């Protein structure tokens, strides 16, 4: 695919400048069920943002991969990608080898062995798997700053595709921690009030529901690998938070 025309980057909002295509869902995150000819939504981004976000997504994939169920058909390939990403023997060049070695070192610093599975501070959906017994358990300290970066990148991309609008500094993206009841509540709101899907292929569920008052303000729901469930709330910074997102009129 040819490069997009010069313009404004959807992430840093700088431009006009030369742009590249940035995948809304990283290609490396797609499960093995996604066939090559399935559409992969892309947005125009500057090379600096594209490289910065790609590095963050690679780091997140390495962390997520160690918490996925390797027996799941949707997650099996992702687990292998995470393992390969820190294996220097898989390197294609000296530069790639150094990058894998550096990521391996960072992952080792994040890992801790625990006799009992932690019950607090666990990323939603990524607790200990019952089939793996009573321990010891390997835990991975999650890079929250990189995760927040990805959530904003996701919101910027989906907003641009659906609304042809930029997510300016007037807005913020808040992550809503997943709970079973909260997930059902958001699903009901997103599906009932005109959710707009974004086709990313089998195994990826991405939907966005904008408000009637401001189409940029929205709820975004992403489900990947049958295990990762994310809810993002795009809101104006100058508006007070409501007690319940479900009180908003979603169109």
The pLDDT assigned to 73 comes to 85
Please name which of 31, 24, 87, 22 lies closest in space to residue 228, comparing C-alpha atoms: 31
In the prediction, which pLDDT does 244 show?
A: 39
Highest mean pLDDT among 137-141, 147-151, 209-213: 147-151
Domain ranges of the chain: 20-140, 144-247
* Burial (0-12, 13-18, 19+ Cβ within 10 Å), 164: exposed
Split at pLDDT 50, 70, 90, the class of 20 is very high
Of 244, 23, 148, 193, the C-alpha closest to 207 is: 193
pLDDT at 6: 84
Report the distance separating Cα 244 and Cα 239, nearest Å. 14
* CA–CA dist 71, 65 (Å, integer): 12
Least confident range from 32-46, 121-135, 160-174: namely: 121-135
Percent of the chain at pLDDT > 70 equals 80
Say how many C-beta atoms besides its own lie within 10 A of residue 151's C-beta.
Answer: 20
Tokens linked to 139: 């835990």
pLDDT in tens, 124-137: 777 766 665 676 78
pLDDT in tens, 169-198: 999 998 876 665 666 676 776 666 667 778
Measured on CA atoms in the order 96, 97, 98, 102, is the torsion positive or negative? positive
DSSP state of 4: P
Please tell me which residue, 238 or 19, carries the higher pLDDT value: 19
Q: How far is CA 148 from the centre of its chain?
A: 9
Give the model's pLDDT for residue 34. Answer: 58
Q: Which of 180, 187, 177 is nearest to 151 (CA)?
A: 177
The pLDDT score that the predictor gives to residue 176 is 74
What does pTM read for this prediction?
A: 0.86
């Amino acid at each position: 695919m040819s490069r997009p025309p010069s313009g404004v980057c959807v992430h840093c909002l700088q431009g006009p400048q030369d742009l590249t295509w940035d995948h809304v869902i990283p290609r490396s995150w797609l499960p093995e069920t996604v066939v090559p000819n399935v559409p992969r939504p892309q947005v125009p981004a500057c090379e600096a943002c594209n490289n910065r976000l790609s590095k963050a997504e690679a780091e997140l994939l390495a962390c997520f991969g160690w918490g996925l169920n390797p027996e799941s058909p949707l997650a099996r390939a992702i687990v292998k990608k995470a393992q390969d990403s820190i294996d220097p023997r898989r390197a294609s060049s000296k530069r790639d080898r150094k990058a894998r070695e550096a990521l391996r070192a960072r992952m080792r610093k994040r890992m801790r062995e625990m006799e009992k599975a932690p019950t607090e501070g666990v990323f939603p959906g990524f607790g200990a798997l019952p089939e793996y017994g009573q321990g010891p358990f390997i835990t991975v300290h999650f890079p929250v700053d990189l995760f927040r970066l990805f959530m904003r990148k996701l919101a910027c991309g989906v907003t641009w595709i659906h609304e042809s609008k930029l997510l300016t500094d007037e807005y913020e993206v808040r992550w809503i921690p997943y709970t079973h009841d909260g997930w059902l509540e958001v699903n009901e709101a997103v599906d009932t009030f005109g959710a707009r899907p974004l086709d990313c292929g089998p195994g990826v569920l991405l939907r966005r529901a904008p408000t009637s008052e401001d189409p940029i303000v929205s709820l975004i729901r992403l489900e990947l690998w049958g295990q990762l469930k994310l809810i993002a709330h795009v809101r104006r910074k100058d508006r007070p938070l409501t007690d319940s997102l479900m009180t908003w009129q979603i169109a």
